[in-house]
């Protein structure tokens, strides 16, 4: 039986009302997003330097799908579905690993780093068995801005076509983009829909009201110059430095290095953000991975420039993100998700003035429109 996806009427949209609450918990929406968004979109797996040596492997899981990205002996980075072609056993369970070949733990079918089947015990008893016909199934992979992305849709647009100008904007603020190495990766389960988390990150309305850590962040930037800009299938929210700043995250800035003194964030449809916090010498990745209609996994990656020790202010920033700002945001996400289930709430009203400013929710509206168009194209 087909379950109908809720509606977001044109009248409500024109009146300035946001996505109705069921879009954040209805199983039909979750299934529609699986098919209409996540199985057709580019997903950030890691940085190019995560694949420096032959046999470097990163496993990425999205909903019920799992992908292996690995570097072959010929220097090529390839991606494959993470499943043995014999009986469908998952091949790799660890996020990061290194191997000369992939061997299935069930019946020892073995695959090369190019995905080809190298060995399959007892198949010599099968007439006309051709190893070339039983290699791993490939997945599209692209390098964009020195980050590695995969897409389960063979017909998807290249990222450069989807996000024209995005890489140039990244390079304008992130000078060490090509020479980053992983410092730390943190996975955090959150009891909230992935869109709730995304919404929270793309509006400045709550900065002055939602908690002390957000007010600390606002003090590092010239908040009057904070700009949130929709650009189609990508977006930015960027704030200039506050003049006269001498310390950040409780640490003096004297002698420190950083990627940028700006608050820089670039979002790529549907769920990845590449960013730099002011005065921090790391590039962060923030990925909202749906795990259910009302649950998500947040993956925080921190990449620092190779060959340069992290300044104390950068280490303090990472601690501040993990122990203060992140938890404050996550608590808002959880509280928001609970409220969306209330019988007393149907939908909200966007706070958007005649001229969108730093507290406007116009980027939230833009994101909602992208989501709705993807799962209800007939209503777009």
Beta carbons of 146 and 133 less than 8 angstroms apart? no
Give pairs for 284-289: CB < 8 Å, separation 24+: 284/321, 285/44, 285/147, 286/201, 287/43, 287/44, 288/194, 288/197, 288/198, 289/61, 289/62, 289/194
Q: Please state which of the four CATH numbers 3.40.718.10, 3.40.50.11540, 3.40.50.300, 2.102.10.10 is assigned to the domain occupying 42-151.
A: 2.102.10.10
Question: CA 72, CA 261: separation in Å to the nearest integer?
Answer: 38
- 247 in helix, strand or coil? strand
Question: CA 85, CA 59: separation in Å to the nearest integer?
Answer: 17
- Judge residue 39's burial from the number of C-beta atoms within 10 Å of its C-beta, 0-12 exposed, 13-18 middle, 19 or more buried: middle
From the centroid of its chain, how far is CA 347? 26
Burial string for 155-172 (b: 16+ CB within 10 Å, else e) reads: ebeebeebbeebbebbee
Per-residue pLDDT at 379: 67
Residue 90: name the closest of 53, 123, 60 by CA: 60
Whole-prediction pTM value?
A: 0.95
DSSP 168: H
Q: DSSP alpha helices (H): ranges in 148-299?
A: 159-162, 166-173, 194-201, 212-220
Q: Please state which of the four CATH numbers 1.20.1630.10, 3.90.380.10, 3.40.605.10, 3.40.50.920 is assigned to the domain occupying 10-41+164-379.
A: 3.90.380.10
* Radius of gyration, CA atoms only, the chain: 22
Tokens at 182, concatenated: 């992983």
Secondary structure element (H or E) that encloses residue 81, with its range: strand 77-81
Question: CA 329, CA 332: separation in Å to the nearest integer?
Answer: 5
Tokens at 5, concatenated: 């996806």
Beta carbons of 109 and 135 less than 8 angstroms apart? no
Structure-token match 């379950």, residue found: 3
pLDDT tens per residue, the chain (380 residues)? Answer: 455 788 999 999 999 999 999 999 999 999 999 999 999 999 999 999 999 999 999 999 999 999 999 999 999 999 999 999 999 999 999 999 999 999 999 999 999 999 999 999 999 999 999 999 999 999 999 999 999 999 999 999 999 999 999 999 999 999 999 999 999 999 999 999 999 999 999 998 888 888 899 888 888 999 889 999 999 999 999 999 999 999 999 999 999 999 999 999 999 999 999 999 999 999 999 999 999 999 999 999 999 999 999 999 999 999 999 999 999 999 999 999 999 999 999 999 999 988 888 889 999 999 999 999 999 887 66
CB atoms within 10 A of CB 14: 8
Beta carbons of 56 and 75 less than 8 angstroms apart? no
φ and ψ of 367, to 5 deg: -65, -45
Domain limits, the chain:
10-41+164-379, 42-151
Per-residue pLDDT at 1: 41
Question: CA 321, CA 327: separation in Å to the nearest integer?
Answer: 8
């Amino acid at each position: 039986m087909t379950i109908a996806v809720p509606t977001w009427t044109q009248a409500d949209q024109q009146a300035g009302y946001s996505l109705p609450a069921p879009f954040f918990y209805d199983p039909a929406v979750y299934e529609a997003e699986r098919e209409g968004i996540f199985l057709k979109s580019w997903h950030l797996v890691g940085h190019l330097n995560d694949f420096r040596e032959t046999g470097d492997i990163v496993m990425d899981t999205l909903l019920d799908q799992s992908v292996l990205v690995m570097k072959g002996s010929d220097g090529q980075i390839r991606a494959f579905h993470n499943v043995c072609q014999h009986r469908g056993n998952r091949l790799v369970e660890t996020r990061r690993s290194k191997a000369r070949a992939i061997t299935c733990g069930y019946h020892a079918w073995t695959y090369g780093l190019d995905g080809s089947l190298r060995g399959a015990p007892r198949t010599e008893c099968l007439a006309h068995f051709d190893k070339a016909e039983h290699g791993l199934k490939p997945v599209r992979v692209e390098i964009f801005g020195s980050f590695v992305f995969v897409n389960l849709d063979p017909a998807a647009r290249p990222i450069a076509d989807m996000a024209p100008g995005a890489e140039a904007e990244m390079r304008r603020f992130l000078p060490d983009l090509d020479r980053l190495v992983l410092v730390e990766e943190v996975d955090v389960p959150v009891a909230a829909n992935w869109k709730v988390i995304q919404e929270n990150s793309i509006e400045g309305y709550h900065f002055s009201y939602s908690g002390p850590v957000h007010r600390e962040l606002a003090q590092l930037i010239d908040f009057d110059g904070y700009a949130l800009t929709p650009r189609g299938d990508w977006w930015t929210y960027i704030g200039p430095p506050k003049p006269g700043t001498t310390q950040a995250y409780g640490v003096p800035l004297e002698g420190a290095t950083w990627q940028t003194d700006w608050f820089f964030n670039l979002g790529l449809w549907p769920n990845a953000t590449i960013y730099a916090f002011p005065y921090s010498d790391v590039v962060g990745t923030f990925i909202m991975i749906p795990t259910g209609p009302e649950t998500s996994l947040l993956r925080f990656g921190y990449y620092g420039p190779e060959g340069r020790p992290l300044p104390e202010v950068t280490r303090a920033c990472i601690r501040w993100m993990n122990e203060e700002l992140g938890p404050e945001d996550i608590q808002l996400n959880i509280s928001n998700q609970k409220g969306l289930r209330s019988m007393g709430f149907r939908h909200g009203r966007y706070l958007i003035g005649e001229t969108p400013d730093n507290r406007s929710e116009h980027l939230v509206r833009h994101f909602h429109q992208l989501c709705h168009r993807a799962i209800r194209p007939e209503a777009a």
